[in-house]
Amino acid sequence: MSAGDGPWEWIVGAFYFDEKLQTDYLFQDSSPFGFTFMNGGELDTTSYAVFGQLGYDFRDSGNPFKIVGGIRYTQDEKDISEYQMIPQFLVDLSDEDNQNWDEVTGQVEFDYFVAEDVMAYLMLSHGYKGGGYSIGQFDKYDPETMDAAELGLKSQFMNNRAQVNVAAFYDKYEDLQVNFLEFTSFTTDNAAKATITGIEVETQFIPVDGLIVGVNGTWLSAEFDDYQFTPTIDLSGDTVNRAPKYTAQIFLQYDWSLGDRGSMTARADYYWQDEVYYRVQNIERHKADAFDTADARLMWTSADERWVIDAFVKNLADEDNLRNLTVSDGLSTGDNSFVSYYPPRTYGVRFGWRMGGVQ
């Protein structure tokens, strides 16, 4: 990695990842004519990459801009050994397979310094996510790729007592990977094309000493451009699953000194999320309603910053907020669903100590 005060900056590196995953699934139908379904297997994943980034800051020569570019080469390999059994129907299947993928990805960013505390930027990138297997399903899915553009503005003003960041982005996906439940089996499919556009706004203000107020929000438009889900079901134009149109967050934080006895921090957070579809098919039983939640905390830090006592409450109103909803595709004979919720009201106290403290 580069160091120093010159206009050039660079970084080079390598990445290696190795994982061995074993999954065993058991489903037993409780009806009088029920059956037992078992599947699973072992999946070995190996991934490595080399990457580099180079940037030049033209401000040293009197021009208010900076350019940074990076490139990465990734290679993935996956080996699977899987099985599926339904004893009542004499089904006993097994298989082994191997897949390899590689991709060159990269990014270029242009930063323009409008003023000392205001920067506009444009970033273009090409991304990649490796393919894989749905363990025990005897199916495999392809990698997904994405071409993205982001235009943004970062600013500070009022003597650094206010900060406003705005970003607009456009993401174009090819072979977008989507997950769903088919009867008793979880699987992954490649939607042909999808486009996600959005705007993010992050603000932070210090109206009086010690008080920080933050307001963040997002608007999202996520749509399948081309997705033939089955020979008879075309989902082109549907909303991408797990993509709420709006989200919002507000927080208040107040810090004050206790002199030789340390300092206190009080914080409250509020989060709201719009309704969302959890499956690729946009029908009512696949949709979760909008929800909100609020958290609070009070933290004491010793004067030497070695000791911390943190009292917290999460989900203050004890709301039953849906975290995940997985339902069958409506094509199979079952009407299965798996539902999970965010934790109920949770409270506690954390104690912390660290070596060193204030230097």
The per-residue pLDDT for 35 is 82
Residue 165 reports pLDDT greater than 90: yes
Q: Report the sign of the C-alpha dihedral through residues 87, 92, 93, 94, in that order.
A: positive
The per-residue pLDDT for 261 is 95
Distance CA 109, CA 122 (A): 6
For residue range 240-257, what is the model confidence (pLDDT) as tens digits? Answer: 999 999 999 999 999 999
Residue linked to tokens 């039953």: 320
Distance CA 91, CA 87 (A): 6
Q: What is the distance, to the nearest Å, from the Cα of residue 328 to the centroid of all Cα atoms in its chain?
A: 24
Q: What average pLDDT does the segment 317-343 reach? A: 73
Residue 354 reports pLDDT greater than 90: no
Residue linked to tokens 């933290």: 299
DSSP state, residue 237: T
Cα torsion through 200, 201, 204, 205, rounded to 10: 180
For residue range 43-86, what is the model confidence (pLDDT) as tens digits? Answer: 999 999 999 999 999 998 999 999 999 999 999 999 999 999 99
The SS3 call for residue 323 is strand
- At 359, the pLDDT band (50, 70, 90 cuts) reads low
Q: What average pLDDT does the segment 158-177 reach? A: 96
- At 33, the pLDDT band (50, 70, 90 cuts) reads confident
Distance CA 269, CA 272 (A): 10
DSSP helix, strand, coil percent of the chain (3-state; round to 5): 5, 70, 25
Determine if the pTM surpasses 0.95: no
In this predicted structure, which of 2-11, 141-150, 230-239, 254-263 has the lowest mean pLDDT?
2-11
DSSP string over 7-61: SEEEEEEEEEEEEEEEEEEEEE--STT--EEEEEEEEEEEEEEEEEEEEEEGGGG
